[in-house]
Amino acid sequence: MTSQTLRDARRYEEAMAQNITDQERPEFHLSPRVGWMNDPNGFSYYKDKFHLYYQYYPYDSQWGPMHWGHVVSDDLLHWEYLPSAIAPDMPYDYVGCFSGSAIELPDGKQLFMYTGVRKEAQPDGGVRDIQTQCLATGDGMDYEKDPRNPILTVEDMPENSSPFDFRDPKMWKCEDGSYRCVTVNDRADGTGGRILLYRSEDGYNWKFESVMLSNDGNFGKMWECPDFFSLDGKDVVLVSPQDMLPKDFEYHNGDGTLCLIGKFDETTKTFIPESDQAVDYGIDFYAMQTVEAPDGRRIMIGWMQNWDTCSNNRIPKGKWFGQMSIPRELSIKDGRLIQKPVREIENLRTDKVEYKNVTFENDLKLDGVSGRCVDLELTLRPGNTEDIYKKFAVRFAQNEQYHTAVSFRPYESVLKIDRKFSGSRRAIIHQRRSKVNSRNGEIKLRLILDRYSAEIFVNDGEHVLTATIYTDIEADGISFFADGKVEMDVTRYELKK
């Protein structure tokens, strides 16, 4: 039975979406149908299509009571908007239907588990948000919330657990037909996030198994949006820590991303990390979620935004806010998470322009190398091996007034993205740096540019730096700069849906 709250949201988004033209949106990155978007939810393959749900407030381009928006795709690049899937319409979730996941049940139904949020008076006289886990089942279009909701509460957590920070369930099906779920939770004293593991035989009745992994203050404070999967012979935990402190070039201040590679111990039901790294080293990437595609690929998508900048990055306020990253194929190589744009993006390539062995210093422009929806591949080598260049930069979304730049200093082996000249009028984060692998000034860069974003893949996916930009769309120049002599191969494609 569809609630009035959900019917209202569906009518509103259907009417207001007609006021947003394709030219006002990214070309191939997903944006909300209307209003506000944040975390990806329920990333799944169901009824022969990829389904993606997302944290959604249709009524404004700022955060509000969370609904679940809904899109489907055959190729992860062409997305069809469907009506909102769920809305905050029950006593246990009226503050919002927060993040969660989706699986297919044996009867063919799709099952959601999501975090329901309500307010509750506290003994000290204050009012706090209480977070619990809830279920809904449906057919890929309409969903019915479980009458037993909430199905996981503070009673289902270990001792010393906070009822205020218990969220973001990620489910998966095991080989024996049972189900597992991880959620994040803070200790009652607020000393750090941890990942809780639950088990179910049918997807509906869940029991606590273990504290799978504790933060213990190593990576920020509270964790959000956990994911857990096996990949290339290893087990992987992805999570988004809040309030990070920097660690050399590996992590940045604020809300960040974390990948832990290691092994899950079946006896103790705990995860044993062997290595750690950031998932994205740029400015705008958070709350990633993965799906296993029918062909076995592990594919990840993330919210292409930063909580510290999202309220004031786009001025004047637009008809929509928030984008998802390009979906990325994951692998592990030499103990490191590797990310590459989904191979389907190659089907969008047109108008190839190629240059080989271009040697230059100072400023350079190349005929046919421009655009705001571009796949740009660069291979750099020193033009003089006896005197390696000091700096290389590529500038894009450029005209006489604006540009965003990616620069590389080989002696430091540091890559930087810088959007301070992109048109922003606010003192937000404009630069991020990453320590990358380079030998004698050699490096490979792949820039995926859309109208309002840039994703830079380094050395075939060893590092990725992501940033949103809201530069005037007419600024479409691309140029190069070298302090010293650089030899460069360039391949540029236009990207069109």
Residues 467 and 453: beta-carbon distance below 8 Å: yes
Active site residues: 39
- Give me the long-range contacts of 350-356 (CB less than 8 A, separation at least 24): 350/493, 350/494, 350/495, 350/496, 351/493, 351/494, 352/491, 352/492, 352/493, 353/490, 353/491, 353/492, 353/493, 354/490, 354/491, 354/492, 355/488, 355/489, 355/490, 355/491, 356/489
Identity of the residue numbered 68 = W
Residue 300 CB partners (closer than 8 Å, separation 6+): 238, 288, 289, 290, 327, 328, 330, 339
The Cα–Cα gap between 137 and 250 comes to: 40
Provide the token pair at 332. Answer: 């592990």
The CA dihedral of 27, 32, 38, 43, to the nearest 10 degrees, is -80
Site of tokens 């730096």: 465
Q: How far is CA 406 from CA 40, 414, 485, in A?
A: 27, 11, 18
The Cα–Cα gap between 428 and 312 comes to: 8
Residue 126 CB partners (closer than 8 Å, separation 6+): none
Provide the token pair at 24. Answer: 């006002």
Residue 373 CB partners (closer than 8 Å, separation 6+): 27, 28, 449, 450, 451, 494, 495, 496
The Cα–Cα gap between 497 and 495 comes to: 7
Q: What burial class does residue 101 get, using C-beta atoms within 10 Å of its C-beta: 0-12 exposed, 13-18 middle, 19+ buried?
A: buried
- The CA angle 178-184-187, to the nearest 5 degrees, is 125
**φ/ψ (deg, to 5) at 51:** -110, 135
- Give the DSSP per-residue string, 216-264: TTSS-SSEEEEEEEEETTEEEEEEEESSBPPBTTTB-SBS--EEEEEEE
